[in-house]
Amino acid sequence: MSPRKPSKPPHRHRERPDDRDSRHSPGKAGNPNRNRDAGGPRAETKLPSAPQAGGPGGYWLFGHHAVEEAFRNPRRQIHRLVVAGDAPASLGRGVDAEVVERDLIDKLVGRDVVHQGIAARVSPLPEVDIYEICDKARDRSDAVIVILDQVTDPHNVGAILRSAAAFGALAIILTERHAAPESGILAKSASGALEHVPLVRVTNLARTMEELKEAGFWCIGLASEAKQALSSVKSGGKVALCLGAEGAGLRRLTRENCDLLVRLPTAGPIDHLNVSNAAAISLYELAR
């Protein structure tokens, strides 16, 4: 796909919220390290039952990949590290681990999650706006951004983040409302990718798509009823890949602002994919 030449740089202005549109069916398609001190084992620390670190808006990250990548991210503010068993005494940055019983970590992060005996209390990442992403893409001949139109499941958003990191996407754009918040569940599903691929939250998705077009991006939406397959689209250039929520799919205004609607060539008895699976296949197709 030939690069789009912007007629002018993106305008910075206050956005208005999107109106909710009627639902459609395209959801069918898609969609260092300080070592342990010598001299014996560490003493166990009993935590209070309620989390006291992290401040307003803080949350618990859990699982080895999510926590370790957070410690490697200089933009991530970390307040506390708790571990059980043979987890490392420290991951650096002056934050020493508190050794606790595993069931106390269960109480902090939830008994139904796989925390692998390690959790960190963190602040949310600093916000990134769409203009930073456009600036990052300005001198590139090709780039990919993923747009998620009201995808609310944190497991799906986390999995899409992991695929986006694997295939070199610049960012994931979400709506401020009706979208998965930054959380421990999302970060665990992303397996560390949350620290590498920014989540950009916007008020008006249609206006954001127009700004991406002005920055040279082609907006391509995934829809089950589209006549053209994604594989037929010539690769190259700057692409914003738009995916809608499962069931609802892309909203009307989002669809209307796409330059092109495409589909994945499913042919089995179940012709729809989970949105994170559809995102992974589409990102691979755009990258190859």
pLDDT of 202-235, one tens digit each? 999 999 999 999 999 999 999 888 889 998 887 6
Domain containing residue 188: CATH number: 3.40.1280.10
Q: What is the pLDDT of residues 263-284, one digit of tens each?
A: 998 877 776 789 999 999 999 9
- The reply to whether 247 falls in a domain is yes
Residue 207 φ then ψ, to 5°? -65, -40
Prediction pTM value: 0.79
Reply yes or no on whether the pLDDT at 257 is more than 70.
Answer: yes
Reply yes or no on whether the pLDDT at 12 is more than 80.
Answer: no
- The reply to whether 75 falls in a domain is no
- The reply to whether 132 falls in a domain is yes
Average pLDDT of the chain, as a whole number: 81
- The reply to whether 76 falls in a domain is no
Q: Can you give the residue range of the structural domain that contains 242?
A: 26-30+126-287
The conformation of residue 225, written as its DSSP 8-state character, comes to T
- Which of helix, strand or coil describes residue 201? strand
Query: How far is the CA of 137 from the CAs of 25, 27, 202, 218, in angstroms?
Result: 32, 28, 18, 13
- The reply to whether 145 falls in a domain is yes
- The reply to whether 233 falls in a domain is yes
Q: Which two tokens stand for residue 134?
A: 């456009």
Give the total number of structural domains in the chain: 1
CB–CB of 9/227 below 8 Å?
A: no
Distance (Å, rounded) from C-alpha 207 to C-alpha 220?
Answer: 15
- The reply to whether 57 falls in a domain is no
- The reply to whether 12 falls in a domain is no
